[in-house]
């Protein structure tokens, strides 16, 4: 059982495009009337937009925010703040600007409205890291958590692609570490997995089209979730290392996170296997650390500490600092292993791909054996079959006895087949595979009558009958007058279409199951007339059990499944230059429509077999009869 402590935080989040227009209302909601607008040196335009919305509420602007929140910058801003008499802080920019707002809030307790323009996540954490005398000191206090966050996607479209990429990986780092944090809980787990999938999906789209709003919105939303995790649970080695390299060696924040993340993940992966399986799944890759490295490298992001300004000679010191004080991390912190990690990251080497397991190696070997199959489709099907079968065996830990049973089952399935009994079709039907193949085929011919499985009772070359014939040959059952048409998709009638019909009798048996019958009954071949029309007499079909004296019956019994098919009449229709159609019509209200044992029922094929009284159309003398009217549409 899992134990955890979870504290939620009170904060107002406004998310959307153009939400900067709501900043004045948000300030007023907090009781603010004189605002100090904060931005970084490159954030002048954005601060201008915010100031325009605030109008007369602007008391002063300070555009000097700097990375890692140096205390001397905070002191300067504090002087401006005091001078201006501001009663509210509005910050627009990345983590650096928001850090300044937090530092001022810590000293003055003024409310903050922040508009993040990167994906760093600081806006939703109660954490502040300040640098004084070259040392970065981090503290956590509810006093620094901004009261209101206004996410405006439009403010992020100007964020340069390289910063967007590293900032998004910064967000990814928060959620990777959240999943193996000692404080992880169901809330942060869900947020983290959602954020990982969101970042992996949206980031390549943002890089491809940095000004498009939708990808930016998806990424910003994922960053909010990631920041929320950062503000809720403790982080591990990755954040410690990034913090050390940024604070003590002056490396840029988001770039450092980006270079380090695949390496810190590879370091921790063996100690948190479950978390890493989930991370890989959310990323959509087989291995999480190499997946992140490939994502960054593939999008042109930084992959080496050397390239972002780290001196090689500083690596041992960085490793020493990373283990100087204890903090939670899934894998034991070993200075030598961390030094190796940093050396790899310095050179830009990717983390080692995990060794394939013996099972994976076997699958690869078998797949490779089909590698030179000349026909590409055959190769594709064979290798796919091998991969799926192997995965099935591994995932279900199939035992030797179970596999021997499966082989015996298939052997007996084959032995049960002869000219009139097709146990393999029954097996395919009852496993729903026939219907799946049929479904795919059907979806390729839109606007036509849905097809349905052939079933095991079709006999090639049925007796040819004339229009109006009775194919029941006096067999007992309620007469059914069939009056159907065959057209193309555009309702143009198809004369001389060949229509094979077959069905069960009123006890549910096909003629080939009744050895006492002399010749084919309830099966025939017709041709449509000049109007594409076909009329004949038969009897109402009945529900029937599929043969259960073979391996398929054994399977149904073992599963507690009934063997019944819903009543139906089979049709096989062919016309020159048209796609053949094999289908079935089911009387509405019949038994087993919702549990047909071969999954053959489709709503469009359930039709009224309408009971009638009075004389039938051809004047035949019958007491009770039913009529079936239907139009089959087949594809050209």
List contacts with ligand NAD (CB under 6 A).
40, 42-43, 46, 67-69, 93-97, 99, 117-118, 120-122, 125, 127-129, 155-156, 158-159, 163, 167, 170, 230, 253-254
Q: Which is nearer to ligand NAD, 87 or 147 (CB)?
A: 147
Q: Which is nearer to ligand NAD, 67 or 362 (CB)?
A: 67
Q: Which is nearer to ligand NAD, 301 or 567 (CB)?
A: 301
Cβ 252 to ligand NAD shortest distance, Å: 8
Cβ 449 to ligand NAD shortest distance, Å: 56
Q: Which of 119, 328, 80, 150 is nearest to 215 (CA)?
A: 119
Q: Which of 610, 520, 528 is nearest to 571 (CA)?
A: 528
φ/ψ (deg, to 5) at 498: -90, 125
- Tokens coding 389: 């079968």
Q: Which is nearer to ligand NAD, 245 or 482 (CB)?
A: 245
Which of the following is catalytic: 257, 263, 485, 568?
568
d(CA 575, CA 498): 6
User: Quick check: is 570 catalytic?
Assistant: yes
d(CA 547, CA 424): 12
d(CA 131, CA 136): 4
Which of the following is catalytic: 565, 592, 630, 633?
565
Which of the following is catalytic: 151, 180, 510, 592?
510
Q: Which is nearer to ligand NAD, 50 or 581 (CB)?
A: 50
Cβ 209 to ligand NAD shortest distance, Å: 16
Which of the following is catalytic: 257, 278, 523, 570?
570
* Residue pointed to by tokens 């992140």: 292
* Residue pointed to by tokens 């080695």: 237
The beta strands (E) that lie in 117-219 are given as: 127-132, 135-140, 148-152
- Tokens coding 158: 């100007």
CB under 8 A, 24+ apart: contacts of 137-141: 138/243, 141/106
Cα separations in angstroms, 542 against 404, 424, 503, 522, 591: 38, 23, 9, 12, 9
φ/ψ (deg, to 5) at 311: -85, 135
Q: Which is nearer to ligand NAD, 128 or 581 (CB)?
A: 128
d(CA 240, CA 321): 9
d(CA 187, CA 210): 31
Q: Which is nearer to ligand NAD, 71 or 606 (CB)?
A: 71
Q: At how many degrees (to 10) do helices 273-283 and 288-298 cross?
A: 40
Cβ 158 to ligand NAD shortest distance, Å: 4
Q: Which is nearer to ligand NAD, 300 or 356 (CB)?
A: 300
Q: Which is nearer to ligand NAD, 94 or 330 (CB)?
A: 94
d(CA 107, CA 622): 99
d(CA 46, CA 157): 11
- Tokens coding 482: 């069939």
Cβ 17 to ligand NAD shortest distance, Å: 14
Cα separations in angstroms, 517 against 327, 512, 514, 596, 614: 85, 8, 6, 27, 32
SS3 for 320? helix
Cβ 345 to ligand NAD shortest distance, Å: 19
φ/ψ (deg, to 5) at 22: -100, 5
Which of the following is catalytic: 119, 267, 544, 592?
544
- Contact between 627 and 612 (Cβ < 8 Å): yes
Cβ 166 to ligand NAD shortest distance, Å: 7
CA max distance for the chain = 110
Q: Which is nearer to ligand NAD, 155 or 237 (CB)?
A: 155
Cβ 273 to ligand NAD shortest distance, Å: 28
d(CA 93, CA 150): 11
Q: Counting every residue, how long is the chain?
A: 636
- Tokens coding 439: 């479904």
Cβ 141 to ligand NAD shortest distance, Å: 11
Cβ 119 to ligand NAD shortest distance, Å: 7
- Contact between 536 and 467 (Cβ < 8 Å): yes
Q: Which of 496, 498, 495, 497 is nearest to 464 (CA)?
A: 498
φ/ψ (deg, to 5) at 625: -155, 165
Catalytically annotated residues = 510, 544, 565, 568, 570
């Amino acid at each position: 059982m899992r134990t955890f402590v979870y504290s939620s935080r009170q904060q107002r989040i406004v998310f959307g495009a153009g939400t900067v227009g709501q900043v004045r209302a948000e300030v007023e909601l907090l009781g603010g009337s004189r605002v100090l607008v904060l931005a970084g040196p490159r954030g002048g335009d954005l601060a201008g937009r915010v100031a325009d919305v605030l109008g007369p509420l602007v008391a002063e602007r300070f555009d000097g925010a700097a990375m890692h929140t140096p205390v001397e910058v905070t002191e300067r801003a504090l002087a401006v703040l005091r001078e201006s008499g501001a009663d509210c802080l509005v910050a627009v920019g990345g983590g650096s600007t928001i850090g300044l707002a937090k530092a001022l809030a810590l000293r003055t307790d003024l409310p903050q409205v922040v508009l993040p323009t990167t994906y760093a996540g600081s806006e939703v954490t109660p954490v502040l890291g300040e640098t004084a005398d070259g040392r970065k000191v981090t503290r956590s206090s509810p006093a620094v958590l901004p009261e209101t966050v206004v996410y405006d996607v439009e403010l992020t479209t100007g964020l340069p692609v390289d910063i967007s990429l590293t900032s998004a990986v910064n967000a990814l780092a928060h959620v990777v570490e959240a999943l193996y944090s000692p404080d992880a809980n169901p809330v942060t787990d869900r947020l983290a997995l959602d954020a990982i999938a969101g970042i992996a999906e949206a980031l390549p789209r943002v890089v491809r089209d940095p000004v498009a709003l939708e990808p930016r919105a998806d990424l910003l939303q994922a960053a909010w979730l990631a920041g929320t995790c950062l503000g809720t649970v403790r982080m591990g080695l990755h954040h410690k290392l990034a913090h050390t390299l940024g604070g003590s060696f002056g490396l840029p924040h988001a770039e450092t996170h980006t270079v380090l993340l695949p390496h810190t993940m590879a370091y921790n992966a063996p100690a948190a296997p479950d978390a890493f399986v989930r991370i890989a799944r959310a990323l959509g890759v087989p291995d999480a650390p190499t997946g992140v490295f490939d994502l960054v490298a593939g999008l042109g992001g930084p992959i080496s500490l050397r390239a972002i300004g780290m001196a090689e000679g500083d690596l041992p010191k960085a490793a020493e600092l990373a283990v100087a004080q204890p903090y939670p991390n899934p894998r034991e912190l070993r200075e030598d292993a961390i030094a190796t990690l940093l050396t790899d990251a310095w050179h830009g080497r990717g983390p080692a791909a995990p060794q394939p397991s013996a099972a994976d190696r076997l699958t690869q070997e078998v797949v490779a054996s089909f590698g030179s199959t000349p026909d590409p489709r055959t190769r594709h099907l064979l290798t796919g079959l091998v991969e799926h079968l192997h995965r099935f065996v591994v995932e279900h830990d199939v035992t030797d006895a179970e596999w021997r049973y499966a082989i015996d089952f298939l052997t007996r399935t084959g032995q049960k087949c002869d000219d009139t009994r097709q146990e393999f079709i029954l097996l395919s039907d009852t496993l729903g595979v026939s219907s799946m193949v049929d479904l795919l085929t059907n979806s390729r011919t839109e606007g036509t009558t849905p097809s349905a499985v052939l079933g095991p009772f079709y006999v090639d070359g049925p007796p040819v009958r004339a229009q109006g014939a009775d194919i029941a040959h006096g067999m007992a059952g309620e007469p059914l007058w069939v009056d159907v048409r065959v057209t193309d998709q555009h309702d143009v009638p198809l004369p001389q279409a060949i229509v094979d019909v077959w069905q069960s009798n009123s006890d549910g048996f096909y003629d080939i199951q009744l050895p006492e019958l002399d010749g084919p009954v309830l099966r025939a071949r017709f041709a449509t007339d000049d109007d594409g029309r076909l009329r004949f007499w038969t009897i109402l079909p009945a529900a029937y059990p599929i043969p259960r004296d073979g391996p398929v019956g054994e399977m149904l019994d073992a599963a507690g499944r009934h063997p019944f098919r819903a009543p139906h009449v089979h049709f096989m229709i062919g016309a020159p230059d048209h796609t053949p159609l094999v289908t079935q019509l089911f009387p509405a209200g019949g038994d087993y429509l919702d549990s047909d044992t071969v999954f053959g029922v489709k709503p469009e094929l359930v039709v009224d077999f309408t009971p009638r009284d009075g004389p039938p159309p051809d004047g035949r003398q019958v007491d009770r009869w039913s009529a079936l009217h239907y139009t089959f549409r087949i594809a050209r």
